[in-house]
Structure 1
Amino acid sequence: MSFIPYGRQEIDEDDIAAVIAALKSDWLTTGPKVGEFEKAFAEFTGAKEAVAVSNGTAALHCAMAGAGVGPGDEVIVSTMTFVASANAAVYMGATPVFADVTPDTLTIDPADVARKITPKTKAIVAVDYCGQPCDYDALWALCEKHGLKLISDACHAVCGEYRGKPVGTLADFSTFSLHPVKHFTTGEGGLITTDDPEKAQLMRVFRNHGITSDHRTRAATGGFAYEQVMLGYNYRLTDIQSALGLSQLKKLPQWQERRWAIAKRYREAFADMNAVRPLAEVPHTKHGYHLFVVRIDPEGSRLTRDELFPILRSKHELGINVHYQPVHTQPFYQQTFGTKIGDCPVAEAAWPQILTIPIWGNMTDAQADRVIDALRLETSGRAAA
């Protein structure tokens, strides 16, 4: 391909065959493939339970329900994230409180979290930004001290680790996205892992309109009655999607190895470039590398991030992106919750500099080198040797 996207799915004949088999089966939704997929992902992460849902936002919403978040509560969430991390708290009637980030990794800053805990705080949402696991030791200490639930927004971090423990086992609830630009995909989809079987069952009811049985369980018993025990939502994942997820999951380790190889290639290339500075890797963690984000140093680069962006896209055909505008600066949160510039100064300072460059599971060395050469040329005016 000439145009290099920042991320993309990989679909092969095994994936297509798995989907066709599901289409030919008796169950297109609420069937056996959903449970098979949940079991396989729980085993992959080492968690006791996994709950499959329709997308990553639904996963966050279900995790909020599992954590017991409700009206009047506050949920502390990193501002450097996609809006869904905060929106899920609002869905439950809670107030999101935005915490700043550490300047080296742009993951949530436990010291700022500590400053923002109040008697109303119910949970902390730790966002593993780009795939870098957060400081879970510090966050757990705060949760234990104040009686809070810890939710991991691990949508960037499948295959990551923290002190030898896999992402998916680091919080009360860990959430994942299966969007096509993520590590593996079901088209759209999401997962929540937890070690609490009761909370897993609650989230399965929550994803099914708050009803305790589904069509398949009623068919198995020959009954027709059902009970709605809570206000829930239709967040079900289909058997078709689950079949694709099962097939993709088998290839995830090899795709992750490729992400690590591309990340290493980038880091080595950028080591001698003053204008392009990758975010830090924390030594006792394993980075998931959903995204590779660099800072365009305003002192070292001849172009700003905003000047560089259209040149890389049009001239070099690179699908670079920016992740993310700090959520507390979004109009909805400023108008609805009174957030303002100055609330999270580290994230605000990073926002004009950060740039997401391409990385995915089957990216080639030649494609990575095109990215490196374009950044070198446009930030320094110096072509590759």
Structure 2
Amino acid sequence: MADSVIPTVVPFHRHDLGEEELAAIAEVFRGPILTTGATVERFESRFAELLGRRHVLATTSCTGSLHMALLALGIGPGDEVITTPMTFVATASAIIEAGASPVFVDVEPDTGNLDAAAVEAAVTERTRAIMPVHLYGLMCDMKALRRIADSHGLALIEDAAHCVEGMRDGIRPAEYSAAACFSFYATKNLTCGEGGALATDDTALYERMKLIRLHGIDRSLLSRHNSIQGGWDMVSMGWKYNMSNIEAAILLPQIDRLAANLDRREQLSKRYRTLLETVPGVRLPASRPDSRHAHHLLTVWLEHADRDEVLARLRARGIGCVVNYRPVHLTEYFRRDLGYREGMFPVAEWIGRRTLSLPFYPGMPEEDVERVVTALSEILRELS
């Protein structure tokens, strides 16, 4: 017998793509190039301007961007990269794909972000880089991490998948690092379904990553298309990480809506927080002074109730919710093949057992916020 389908009352996420994006795609279809071309270059220019950075490369994913950055910095077999277990698995798998070893350290108990003090203690003679993750949209303490990196001669690579709009202490992503990597996955603040980007102020690094993005080939299709000289050469090892004009077309109109959408998410976040502060057993991750939170996710930590039971009961009521994240080191692969075990990073594990992301997107009606909090409050009372 097939499982019954529960009608969705409040979806976890709903994109706001529409006629502008359809028109932009149609323009690409009328042109000669569907793969990486002028539309990608326009997006890269607009995104670099938005971030205040010199260079942007549009890619197929944040994972690919992280991998490219590691390779371009010469990080590989025998090297260690310090990162957080409180992230999506892609952060660590990109390190492994480059041939290096991820070294996890624990996180701040009030934000879930990488703990700078734990980073300092984890540096060894094999450490080559630090890879912070700006969890939920709150930037890590980049000033502290930059000091640690400088004192040990390490590279900084930011996983900014949650943090297009973020700022802390006046610092934007890629300002204090060699590169910052972004995701345009289906639920991200800026989305094309699947996609990513990499931003840097380092021109030499940018040129190396540009080669890595497309098989190590020295000339793009666009440059060959626009020139009587159609030849090319493979001058280094590379991968297939280039974004197409179709994804770039979907992204371009959204840049003009980013500020308004952030304002709306801030309003919804404040409403959620006001209501959730009165619900016993719910803890809200902290922000930081002098920060602009990107508000990618609206996440709560359940102090006493069984998180998986709460999640199941919310879904049974038609309310979408997900887990961001179960700690990477406790996934089957990392336990079985890399020898990680429970108890190694207790703060990340505490959060991983309790974290729950609630419905949250710019077009969400405020009455749905109230509906979600009411349902959560009732379920927690049932389980108490």
Specify the TM-score bucket, using the shorter chain as the normaliser: over 0.9
2:376 match: 375
- Tell me how far 1:279 sits from its aligned partner: 0.5
1:336 match: 337
Matches within 5 A, 1:308-319: 308-315=310-317, 317-319=318-320
The amino acid of 2:330's aligned partner reads T
2:258 is aligned with 1:257: no
Indicate conservation of the 8 Å contact 1:100/1:347, yes or no.
yes
Indicate conservation of the 8 Å contact 1:72/1:94, yes or no.
yes
2:321 match: 320
In 1, Cα distance between the equivalents of 2:38 and 2:292?
A: 33
Indicate conservation of the 8 Å contact 1:75/1:123, yes or no.
yes
The amino acid of 2:349's aligned partner reads E
Matches within 5 A, 1:16-55: 16-55=22-61
List per-residue Cα deviations over 1:114-147 (Å, max 9, x = no partner): 1111111111110001111101111111100001
List per-residue Cα deviations over 1:74-98 (Å, max 9, x = no partner): 0111100001001111111101111
2:90 match: 84
Indicate conservation of the 8 Å contact 2:39/2:249, yes or no.
yes
- Tell me how far 1:42 sits from its aligned partner: 0.4
List per-residue Cα deviations over 1:146-194 (Å, max 9, x = no partner): 0111111110111111112223434221111001100011221101111
Where do 5+ consecutive residues of structure 1 fail to align? none
The amino acid of 2:377's aligned partner reads R
2:280 is aligned with 1:274: yes
1:347 match: 348
Indicate conservation of the 8 Å contact 1:22/1:240, yes or no.
yes
- Tell me how far 1:6 sits from its aligned partner: 2.2
List per-residue Cα deviations over 1:294-349 (Å, max 9, x = no partner): 11111xxxx4212211110012x111111111111122122332222222111112
SS of corresponding position for 1:193: strand
In 1, Cα distance between the equivalents of 2:126 and 2:362?
A: 42
2:246 match: 240
Q: Tell me the number of residue pairs that the alignment of Structure 1 and Structure 2 aligns.
A: 377
1:200 match: 206
In 1, Cα distance between the equivalents of 2:59 and 2:160?
A: 15
- Tell me how far 1:381 sits from its aligned partner: 4.8
1:358 match: 359
In 1, Cα distance between the equivalents of 2:194 and 2:217?
A: 23
Which residue of 268, 282, 306 maps to 2:308? Answer: 306
Which residue of 231, 246, 264 maps to 2:237? Answer: 231
- Tell me how far 1:2 sits from its aligned partner: 4.4
In 1, Cα distance between the equivalents of 2:347 and 2:105?
A: 10
TM-score, normalised with respect to structure 1 = 0.95
Indicate conservation of the 8 Å contact 2:143/2:176, yes or no.
no
- Tell me how far 1:99 sits from its aligned partner: 1.2
Distance 1:266 1:170, change over 3 A: farther
List per-residue Cα deviations over 1:202-250 (Å, max 9, x = no partner): 1111110111112221233322332212221111111111111111111
In 1, Cα distance between the equivalents of 2:135 and 2:148?
A: 20
In 2, Cα distance between the equivalents of 1:136 and 1:189?
A: 25
- Tell me how far 1:197 sits from its aligned partner: 1.4
In 2, Cα distance between the equivalents of 1:209 and 1:375?
A: 49
Matches within 5 A, 1:4-153: 4-153=10-159
In 1, Cα distance between the equivalents of 2:17 and 2:267?
A: 21
- Tell me how far 1:355 sits from its aligned partner: 0.8
Q: CA RMSD in A?
A: 1.5
In 2, Cα distance between the equivalents of 1:139 and 1:336?
A: 29
Indicate conservation of the 8 Å contact 1:169/1:193, yes or no.
no
In 2, Cα distance between the equivalents of 1:25 and 1:225?
A: 22
2:321 is aligned with 1:296: no
The amino acid of 1:313's aligned partner reads R
The runs of 4+ residues in structure 1 deviating greater than 4 Å are none
In 1, Cα distance between the equivalents of 2:259 and 2:72?
A: 29
List per-residue Cα deviations over 1:238-294 (Å, max 9, x = no partner): 111111111111111111111111111111111222211110111121111111111
| Identical amino acids, percent of aligned pairs | 35
In 2, Cα distance between the equivalents of 1:265 and 1:230?
A: 52
In 2, Cα distance between the equivalents of 1:344 and 1:133?
A: 21
Where do 5+ consecutive residues of structure 2 fail to align? 1-6
In 1, Cα distance between the equivalents of 2:261 and 2:58?
A: 22
Indicate conservation of the 8 Å contact 1:67/1:123, yes or no.
no
2:4 match: none
